[in-house]
Structure 1
Amino acid sequence: MTEISIDRFAAARVSGAFVVDVRQPDEYVQGHVPGADLIPLGEVSTRTADLPTNQPVYVICASGNRSLRAAEYLRGVGIDAHSVRGGTAGWIGAGKPVVTGTGAGADA
Structure 2
Amino acid sequence: MREVDLESFAADMAAGAFVIDVREPDEYVAGHVPGVHSAPLSALESALDVLPVDRTVYVICATGNRSLRAADRLAAHGVDALSVAGGTTGWARTGRPLATGTAA
**If the length of structure 2 is used for normalisation, what is the TM-score?**
0.96
2:90 equivalent to 1:97: no
> Counterpart of 1:86?
86
Is 1:16 aligned with 2:31?
A: no
Q: Alignment identity in percent?
A: 55
5+ long unaligned stretches in structure 2: none
- Residue 18 of structure 1 aligns to which amino acid in structure 2? F
| Gap runs ≥5 in structure 1 | none
1:14, 1:102 → 2: CA distance?
A: 21
Equivalent position of 2:49 in the other structure: 49
**Deviation above 6 Å: which 4+ runs of structure 1?**
none
Distance across 1 between alignment mates of 2:55 and 2:97: 23
Task: Please name the residue that 1:2 is paired with.
Answer: 2
Residue by residue, what CA displacement relative to the aligned partner does 1:54-98 show, whole Å, maximum 9, x if unpaired? Answer: 011000001111100000111111111000001100000111111
Over aligned residue pairs, what C-alpha RMSD do you find? 0.8
Aligned residues: 104
